[in-house]
Amino acid sequence: MCHVIVTCRSMLWTLLSIVVAFSELIAFMSPDWLLGSPHSDTEGNGVDSGEYRSSLGLYNRCLRIGVSCGPYADTFGEVASGFWQAAMLFLAAGTFVLGLVACISIFSLCFQSILKKSIFNICGLLQAIAGLLLMVGLMLYPAGWGSQKVIVYCGAEAAPFRPANCSLGWAFYAAIGGTLATFLCAVLSAQAEIATSSDKVQEEIEEGKSLICLL
């Protein structure tokens, strides 16, 4: 019999797991990892219509932020540098694991174990692994700032771990925030396990209740 068990801690873990997975996916796909130096936009009549900035992602770019965006690399081998290729692999692997855990977390409301193993403990372990994968990817990313592609966007002074005239975009910070939240999810999974296996939950199961909601 399926017992739907909802507690504050298990629900918080489920929601945060889903949010983290989406945040990492959106950050990975965004072109706003690096923001190029400001450029003056001069019209044909010589009138300066203001400044604009280009942006560069892991595999895509925008000629202006939010405008004329698309991939600059048609194949994986055309990605700006080997460091970025490695970063993409680690970030993609971490994001995939988080997506898998997010799907499993939804079913944790009804099924609390897999092959007699706590679903929360399994997911917590997977989230810790995903966090490590993401962390390695984020550490590799700035090592690729010395590539020719980054030099075009950020200036000749661009070098590994030195973006020169560029600044970091929201996608990089979102990826960092998502990585930190991933480790938080791994900790919360233990609390979700404690909450759903408490004596009070067991009492309500013995009373024959199929829907159990506890604060």
- Give mean pLDDT in consecutive 10-residue pieces for the chain, a chain of 215 residues: 72 94 96 83 50 86 82 90 95 97 86 78 95 97 93 90 92 96 95 77 65 61
Tell me how many domains the chain contains: 1
Whether residue 104 lies inside any domain: the answer is: yes
Whether residue 53 lies inside any domain: the answer is: no
- Tell me the CA distances in angstroms from 68 to 31, 112, 187, one per residue in order: 11, 47, 41
Taking the C-alpha atoms of residue 74 and residue 169, their distance in angstroms, rounded to an integer, is 23
- Could you tell me how far CA 85 lies from the centroid of its own chain? 17
Instruction: Write out the DSSP string of 168-206.
Output: E-HHHHHHHHHHHHHHHHHHHHHHHHHHHTSHHHHHHHH
Taking the C-alpha atoms of residue 142 and residue 124, their distance in angstroms, rounded to an integer, is 28
DSSP state of 88: H
What pTM did the predictor assign?
0.86
* Amino acid 48: pLDDT: 45
* Amino acid 205: pLDDT: 61
* Amino acid 145: pLDDT: 94
We report the CATH number of the domain holding residue 175 as 1.20.140.150
Whether residue 131 lies inside any domain: the answer is: yes
Rounded to a whole number of angstroms, the CA Rg of the chain reads 22
Taking the C-alpha atoms of residue 109 and residue 92, their distance in angstroms, rounded to an integer, is 27
* Amino acid 40: pLDDT: 66
Whether residue 64 lies inside any domain: the answer is: no
User: Rounded to the nearest 10 degrees, how much is the dihedral formed by the CA atoms of 129, 88, 135, 141?
Assistant: 170
* Amino acid 68: pLDDT: 82
Whether residue 171 lies inside any domain: the answer is: yes
* Amino acid 140: pLDDT: 96
CB of 150 closer than 8 Å to CB of 205: no
Q: What is the residue range of 170's domain?
A: 4-35+76-213
CB of 60 closer than 8 Å to CB of 69: yes
Whether residue 43 lies inside any domain: the answer is: no
CB of 15 closer than 8 Å to CB of 181: no
Whether residue 65 lies inside any domain: the answer is: no
Whether residue 63 lies inside any domain: the answer is: no
67-71 and 60-64 beta bridge pairing: antiparallel
What value, to the nearest 5°, has the Cα angle with vertex 117 and ends 111 and 120? 60
CB of 158 closer than 8 Å to CB of 150: yes
